[in-house]
Structure 1
Amino acid sequence: MTPQPQQAILASIEQMDSTLAVATALAESGRALDLHGLEEDMTRLCGAVLLLPAEDGRVLRPAMAGLLARLEGLSAALLR
C-alpha cells in the first residue's frame, strides 16, 4: 500500500528537518557547507503542500512552521 500524499509529504518534511539540523550544526561549528539543491528541494516540498486539499494542508501547518524555524536557525548560523 502506498502512503497517502499527506503522509509522504510529512515524511519529506521530517527528512528536510533532519537535513537542516545537521547543516545548522555544521555551520555553527565553522564547517563549510554545500547547500546546492536545498532551495530546489524546499521549493518542491512547499509546492507539494500547496497542491494538497486545503484540509490536508492545514494539518501540516505545525510541521511546516517547525521547518521554517529550523531554516531560520540555519540562516542565522550562516550569518555568524
Structure 2
Amino acid sequence: MSHTAAIESEMHSLTARLRKARQGLSTGTIVDLTPIEEDVKGLCRAIETLPADDSRQLRPRLFGLVEEVNQLGENLRAGLGELAQLLNAASDRRKALTAYAAPKTDKP
C-alpha cells in the first residue's frame, strides 16, 4: 500500500470516528474526543511528508474532513447551550425553593 493510500485509509477511518462521535453526542452519550485529536495530529504530520502533488490530490478529502470536524464542533456547542439552559433552570428552581422554604426558628 502506498503512503498516499495509507493516508486515505486513515482519513476514511477518521471520518467514521467523527460521525460516530456526532451520533453519540446526539443521543447524550459522553464522547472522549482525545483519540480523535491525536488522529488529526497524526494525519497532519503524515500529509506534511507527502510530495506537493500527492497532498494536492488529497485536498478535496481534507475539506470533507474539515467539514466533519466543524459539524462536530457545532454539535458540541449546541450541547453546551442545552446544558447551560438546564443548569440555569435548576438554579432558578433552587432559588425558588429556598425563597419559599419555611423560616428556621430557634426553639429552646
TM-score, normalised with respect to structure 1: 0.91
- Runs of 4+ in structure 1 off by over 2 angstroms are none
Structure with the bigger RCO (C-alpha within 8 Å, sep 6+) is: 1
Q: Find out whether 1:68 has 2:66 as its counterpart.
A: yes
Residue identity in the other structure for 2:67: A
Distance 2:19 2:26 in 1: 11
Quote how far apart the aligned CAs of 1:36 are: 2.1
* CA deviation vs aligned residue, 1:23-65 (integer Å, no higher than 9, x gap): 0111122211112222121011011111100000000001111
- Percent sequence identity over aligned pairs: 32
Which protein has the larger Cα radius of gyration, Structure 1 or Structure 2? 2
Q: Whole-Å Cα distance in 2 between the matches of residues 32 and 74 of structure 1? A: 13
Q: Which runs of 5+ in 2 are unaligned?
A: 79-108
CA distance in 2, matches of 1:25, 1:40: 20
Report the 3-state secondary structure (helix = DSSP H, G, I; strand = E; otherwise coil) of the residue aligned with 1:31. Answer: coil
Q: 1:63 is aligned with what amino acid?
A: R
More displaced stretch, 8-17 vs 36-45: 36-45
Partner of 1:31: 29
Number of corresponding residues = 78
TM-score (norm 2): 0.69
| Residue pair 2:17, 2:36 contacting (<8 A) in 1 also | no
Pairing of 1:37-52 with structure 2 (within 5 A): 37-52=35-50
Unaligned runs of 5+ in 1: none
Instruction: Let me know the Cα RMSD of the aligned residues.
Output: 0.9
